[in-house]
Structure 1
Amino acid sequence: MNENQPNTLPPEYFDHVYQANRDPWNFETSPYEREKYADTLAALPRTQYAEVFEIGCSLGVLTAQLAPHCGHLLAVDVSEAALAQARARCAGLPQVEIRQLRVPEEFPNQSFDLIVLSEVGYYWSPADLARAADLLIAGLNPGSQLLLVHWTPPVHDYPLTGDDVHQFFLAKTTENGALRHLAGHRHETYRLDLLEKR
């Protein structure tokens, strides 16, 4: 873990990024993102989930693709600039609720059948990752799933790497047995792991 940058990136960081570029990570146009979204959806072992929580929904590109698999999908992000685009993209999807929320400082008061943490965990400090992990595990119904998908090359601005995030959650499968590992694979620049609450 990169101790030189121990603080979680603040909402202002993301507001500046989205103000400079409406699609800063090319979510809408990148073949990499398109392939990763298809891989993310293909990893889901069920076709339908009653209650789903997506953390860091950004522009809502993955949100719109997840929605047909959800009875109710709560999609959150820290950046209002990103959420405005997500709301427009998902306007015709009544099962999608979009909310500004900062995890782990804020967390919904409900439980979920699936939580998707995609391209978010490396923005947290090690301490916030630990707090978030406890909340995510507590927020899952027994037998429900946590899907992790993260870019793996290091980014000098980010407190952690994708591998740090996944290794932290995978440790939970052995140290306290709260989670079990259902599936996982690594691509050239990202990895995916599917965990289930025991």
Structure 2
Amino acid sequence: MEKPEKSLDAEFFNKMYEQNQDPWDFENSAYEREKYDATLKAIPKDKYKSVFEIGCSNGVLSEKLANFCERLLAVDASSIAVENAKKRLADYHFVEVQEMTIPKNFPEEQFDLILFSEVGYFLSMEDLTLSRDKMIDALAPNGHLLLVHWTPFVEEFPLTGDQVHELFLQSAEPESGILAHLYGRSETQYRLDLFEKKQ
């Protein structure tokens, strides 16, 4: 089986959620708990005015991320995941959950923190590049962009986690002058990179 060339669509994810409401075991996985802890520790500030979480799934990480936000926009391509996240986050009046497929759909506003976690490898390189550019445009000056992705090879995903992060690191090279790379961490099964948008 060859890796797909096109981005995986909402139908792909809805089928997964129809079979299992928590397909990656976000609720109970020790791996996910450790990764969530590392993700939250990598966030530089205690509070952000406006945060954008791309790929919120059922909202397990969103609920933890809410502690860092005055406002959180959490989105996912799966309508089933979005409904589950809305239920989980119903008591958080400052959290908005929307069904959204990037880069086709993208909010027209600025954020001072964007979290792009476990999503990039579902996209084609063309769509990932467009998504990266849209994220950079949506970041406020000195805003933070945090990437976290599983790195082992998965045949049914268009890209690997390493390919995702390497593309963003290109925008942090001195000649690009767009992003500054603040922090990187590589574990056995995932990697994490934090960027800041230059003024």
TM bracket, shorter-chain basis = over 0.9
Do structure 1's residue 185 and structure 2's residue 185 form an aligned pair? yes
* TM, length-normalised to structure 1: 0.97
Identity %: 50
- Equivalent residue runs for 1:1-198 within 5 Å: 4-174=3-173, 175-198=175-198
* TM, length-normalised to structure 2: 0.97
Q: Aligned partners of 2:90, 2:4: CA distance in 1, in Å?
A: 37
Q: Aligned partners of 1:135, 1:66: CA distance in 2, in Å?
A: 22
Q: Aligned partners of 2:3, 2:30: CA distance in 1, in Å?
A: 33
Give 1:84 shift.
1.1
Q: Aligned partners of 2:189, 2:91: CA distance in 1, in Å?
A: 33
Q: Aligned partners of 1:38, 1:45: CA distance in 2, in Å?
A: 13
2:53·2:114 contact (CA, 8 Å) conserved in 1?
yes
Give 5+ residue unaligned stretches, structure 1. Answer: none
Give 1:4 shift.
4.2
Q: Aligned partners of 1:179, 1:24: CA distance in 2, in Å?
A: 33
Number of residue pairs aligned between Structure 1 and Structure 2 = 196
Moved over 2 A (4+): none
Quick one: which amino acid aligns to residue 61 of structure 2? Answer: L
Partner secondary structure for residue 121 of structure 2? helix
Q: CA RMSD in A?
A: 0.9
Q: Aligned partners of 2:188, 2:145: CA distance in 1, in Å?
A: 22
Give 5+ residue unaligned stretches, structure 2. Answer: none
Quick one: which amino acid aligns to residue 16 of structure 2? Answer: V
Q: Aligned partners of 1:81, 1:45: CA distance in 2, in Å?
A: 32
CA deviation map 1:145-167 (0-9, x unaligned): 00000000011110000000000
Q: Aligned partners of 1:166, 1:135: CA distance in 2, in Å?
A: 16
